[in-house]
Structure 1
Amino acid sequence: MSDRKRTESNGSPESRNNPSTPGVSAENSNGGYNAGMAVFSYIIGGIIVWSLIGWGLDYLWGTRWIVLAGALLGAVGGFYLSHMHGLTSSRNSTGKSGADSGPSADGNTNAK
């Protein structure tokens, strides 16, 4: 009995990564929330780090504009990192785009 997998009431095996959290689908338990938080972290982290570097260079060189350039560079760099990690793509779990799925549910009611 200890070697058997536990089953739900419908008879299917219970997956360990199937959370009971509302708003999270069973197919993709780490979903869009985690990807959104990662994108947010990359962008905010880039802005903070590069603004501090710019502030330090402004202090050393006696300028006032490098902190703004650092903040812009950090935002662009954070978005670039999130894009390269695949967090900003609009693909669904099957790898197809939404346009590949066929016509909309209303059919041809608006066609002339």
Structure 2
Amino acid sequence: MRNVRKHAQAGRSATTRGASAPGVAGDNSDGGYNAGIAVFSYIVGGIIVWSLIGWGLDYLWGTRWIVLAGALLGAVGGFYLSHMHGLTSSRKNADERHAPSAPSQDGKDSAK
């Protein structure tokens, strides 16, 4: 016999949790390690891709500085992507969602 309640809860949690980035667990079972690897890959991948684009433009235009600008742009872009996917925030609410960064509605600080 199947336990219908257990099966329904498993299906609901699988559809509602949703991973915030590829390769990152939505239930945060080992999210610290996976999030760190995702942030690292976004930043290093951005540096590599944009450095290659800058290198190609340097080759075409006969300059030397665009590769450095591309590396900087790739690092900033990788950090931006990881921030937008919620991988760089360590603040959590009790229900394991990211804490809001805006002030509360009544204007009072909720920090204790």
Q: Give the TM-score range, shorter chain.
A: 0.5 to 0.7
- Structure 2 residue identity aligned to 1:44: V
Separation in structure 2 between the aligned mates of residue 96 and residue 45 of structure 1, nearest angstrom = 28
- Residue 48 (str. 1) matches residue 62 (str. 2): no
The normalised TM-score by structure 2 is 0.61
Give SS of 1:38's match.
helix
Q: What residue number does 1:69 align with?
A: 69
CA–CA separation in structure 1 for the residues paired with 2:58 and 2:66: 6
Q: How many residues align?
A: 80
Unaligned stretches of 5+ residues in structure 1: 6-14, 16-26, 103-112
Q: Equivalents in 2 of 1:87, 1:52: separation in Å?
A: 26
Deviations 1:90-112 (A, max 9, x none): 21352559x95x6xxxxxxxxxx
1:33-90: CA deviation from partner (whole Å, max 9, x where unpaired): 0000000000000000000000000000000000000000000000000000000012
User: Corresponding residue for 2:38?
Assistant: 38
Say which one has the larger Rg. 1
Residues of 2 paired with 1:55 and 1:96: CA distance?
Answer: 40
Structure 1: distance between partners of 2:36 and 2:87 = 8
How big is the alpha-carbon RMSD for the aligned residues of Structure 1 and Structure 2?
Answer: 2.5
